[in-house]
Structure 1
């Protein structure tokens, strides 16, 4: 239980930042991107860091910082493509987080 609780806190902390929450929403709702390196992995669309930069008006270092936080929480995976990186949401982590919250707070 303690290990899982630590994971839930790590995910909650990552999602508590409004910019990271926006990025997660973008990833969850993404379709094929406009960037030439965009594409799908295992049938799931992802976003290139250049698209995140453009849509949110952020510089590359800020996007990298936020993506590192999301990756460390297990919420996204990244795939290098040349000088860019593609990011994909890890649905399993979100599902596990929601299940854990439901169990911990007896929401069922």
Structure 2
């Protein structure tokens, strides 16, 4: 079960919204992590830090909010974390919002 309010709150921040757009539009794993063959679209901390011009602690804060809302999954890879969009949760959120606010 998704928490629509938590998701709405997470998406209300412009930086987190931008991160979600980046994840949704990524085409393959970009960060070369030794020994990893996973090419799913996603970003590691270092890529997000560079793209957003933020220090690691700020990126981690925003990613924690997105992970806690269920919009993003994280996987440790060596000393970094890889982040992937949770399309299932995003679709459920869209469906729930559509049901909640549909005009009848």
TM-score, normalised by the number of residues in structure 1: 0.86
Verify: 1:55 aligned to 2:38, yes or no.
no
Q: 1:45 to 1:36 in 2, by over 3 A?
A: same
Give SS of 1:45's match: coil
Give SS of 2:26's match: coil
Give SS of 1:23's match: helix
Verify: 1:100 aligned to 2:96, yes or no.
yes
RMSD: 2.0
The aligned counterpart of 1:89 is 85
Asked if structure 1 preserves the Cα contact closer than 8 Å seen for 2:66 and 2:72, the reply is yes
* Aligned residue runs from structure 1 range 62-81, under 5 A: 62-81=58-77
Give runs of ≥4 in structure 1 deviating > 4 Å: none
Gapped regions of structure 1 (runs ≥ 5)? none
Provide the rounded CA distance (Å) in 1 between the counterparts of 2:37 and 2:95. 30
- Aligned pair count reads 102
Asked if structure 2 preserves the Cα contact closer than 8 Å seen for 1:39 and 1:46, the reply is no
Deviations 1:74-105, CA, capped at 9 Å, x for gaps? 00000111111100000011100100011001
TM-score, normalised by the number of residues in structure 2: 0.89
